[in-house]
Amino acid sequence: MIYWDYNAAAPVRPEVASLLSRAFSQGGHGNASSVHAAGREARARLDAARARVARVLGCEPKEICFTSSGSEADALALVGAWHARTSPERRRLVTTAVEHPALLGAAAQLEREGAQVVRVAPGPDGRVRADDVLAALTPDTALCSLMWANNETGVVQPAAEVARACRQRGVLFHTDAVQAAGKVPLSLREVDADLLSLSAHKFGGPSGAGVLVVRKGVDVRALVPGHQEAGLRGGTQNIPHAEAFALALELAASEQPSLAERVGALRDDFERAVLECVPGVTVNGAGAPRVPNTSNLRFDGVEGEALLIALDLEGICVSMGAACASGTLSPSHVLRAMGLTPAQARGCLRFSLGPDTREADVRCVVDALRRHVPSVRALTA
């Protein structure tokens, strides 16, 4: 099998799998809120994991809130910060039309509650212009959310520039960094965000483990009341997942420079080969800065789902877009926001490479596309 769907979920790293196996089989299941010896041991493990995550991200341990996913982190950031705002006259929320469905869902919830939500459109290359976001930051803006890197196209957004402008204007800034981790240098020194979301299963950690960074002095109202996580998230913490998150993040950060160079070269070779041997192909996001592992291709006159199935029958795993939106009949909201027609958007596939990708895989996928695109195109015509 050739697995090219790392943006949906990366395989769990062997080191992380070993850690989880030991954690669940060798005892040490105390509740971190208990005062007895087992509880104190659990608290020490949780605190150590929190400190390790903070060290990688360049923040303080108490600014780390463990969650169950990136989607929960996004919802806690938007809904929690909105409900905790101290200036109720600030009723504007600025975000973009290319955010992850979890973020857009949280924004839609707030819109139903009376927020004025502004969704800034990207250019044809999928990148949102910083000036367009800044123009939307009126004095009544409470919160701005701009993803660091897009999950479908890989386009890197101007998060650092927008974060600086928000801080100057007294607007809280959140970035969904789920697709940036392990692909670009990830640090709050790079993007000075008030709130930042991550999910472990994108960089070799387990599914069901996320983090929301909440910078000191930022108020967030819990979605689940409770005393855990400094009152930000009620419920007994999953300590093995916190430790697994920390380990996966450390490994991803240490490997990122060399991995980005190697995988980026493979991605570029893949795109170059496909454009040379398959007619009617366009790279979505070409010309914009992108994370090195992601290629979103439009195949003119092709039904993307049929091509995806043809590749799957050869053991090649790719996707049509966000994993969270798979199974829907609607074309990608990201590609539609970039100006593609519904038919064009349905003819796109996302290829997301990873640490296990090799040159031989590139040759196999290119050959499969060379053979299958004409036949699928003939069926569509």
* Strand ranges (E), the chain: 2-3, 64-67, 92-96, 116-120, 141-145, 172-176, 195-199, 210-214, 281-284, 294-299, 316-317, 348-352
User: CA neighbours within 13 Å on the CB side: how many for 324?
Assistant: 13
Cα separation of the two ends of the chain: 30
Kindly give, in sequence order, each residue whose CB lies less than 8 Å from that of residue 10, ignoring residues fewer than 6 positions away.
Answer: 182, 201, 202, 203, 204, 354
CA-closest candidate to residue 193, choices 129, 144, 138? 144
Q: Find the helix or strand (DSSP H, E) in which 210 lies.
A: strand 210-214
User: CA neighbours within 13 Å on the CB side: how many for 264?
Assistant: 14
- Is residue 377 within 8 A of residue 284, CB to CB? The reply is no
Q: Which of 65, 144, 324, 364 is catalytic?
A: 324
Q: Is 348 a catalytic residue?
A: no
**CA 260 from chain center: how many Å?**
17
Burial of residue 313 (number of CB atoms within 10 Å: 0-12, 13-18, 19+): exposed
Tokens of 216: 């000191």
User: CA neighbours within 13 Å on the CB side: how many for 208?
Assistant: 7
- Is residue 315 within 8 A of residue 2, CB to CB? The reply is yes
Distance CA 223, CA 201 (A): 22
Distance CA 72, CA 7 (A): 18
Sign of the CA dihedral running 319, 324, 327, 332: negative
- Which residues are the active-site residues? 324
